[in-house]
Amino acid sequence: MKTRLVAVALLLVVGVAALLSPAAGRAAETEKLVAIIANDTLRFNVTKITASPGQALHVQLKNKGILPKAVMGHNWILLDGDGAASAYITAAASAAAENYQPNALAAHVLASLPLLGPKESGDVSFNAPSKPGKYPFVCSFPGHFQAGMHGD
């Protein structure tokens, strides 16, 4: 009986070790990391992201600014087409209660990160669209898109 308990315990330990092994983490390793820095200059340090259709992406946004979130918060929103950016930004300007991410246009958002204050960071993982093309990303805080805080 004691031998069976040891054998079962050993199998559980081996099973857990297998889950934690590098092979289990391969999915995360195949993601393309895109590290984006935003600060008080109203610019993303990355303005172009290239990916293959369906490629796994991991976007990390860091707000390295020092001004308060209420006046200089930054978010990152990937939209579904070139035409959607200006309409989304217009609607976002009056969506403060929704953190400048208008619920009415949520269907156009492919991936997003919430509004970040100074020294905050956020991460999102998703697959690139399967249809090749240009997909804009924006900071939807009022005035930031117009100042140049966008890319594709």
- The string of DSSP codes covering 104-135 is GGGGGEEEEEEEE-TT-EEEEEEEPPSS-S--
Best CA proximity match to 78, nearest among 119, 127, 33: 127
Dump pLDDT digits (tens) for 18-28. Answer: 334 444 344 45
pLDDT at 1 over 50: no
Q: Which fold has domain 31-151?
A: Immunoglobulin-like (2.60.40)
CA pair distance 118, 125, nearest whole angstrom: 22
Residue type, 66: I
Q: ∠ at Cα 150 (144, 151), nearest 5°?
A: 175
Which residues of 8-145 form beta strands (DSSP E)?
32-38, 56-63, 74-79, 109-116, 121-127, 137-138
Q: State what percent of residues in the chain have pLDDT above 70.
A: 80
Residue 86: partners with Cβ closer than 8 Å, 6 or more residues away: none
Dump pLDDT digits (tens) for 45-99. Answer: 999 999 999 999 999 999 999 999 999 999 999 999 866 799 999 999 999 999 9
pLDDT at res. 21: 40
Exposed (0-12), middle (13-18) or buried (19+): which is 51, by Cβ within 10 Å? Answer: middle
What mean pLDDT comes out for the span 3-23? Answer: 35
CA 20 to chain CA centroid, Å, is 25
**Cα–Cα distances in angstroms (integers) from residue 117 to residues 86, 87, 138, 150, in the given order:** 24, 25, 16, 18
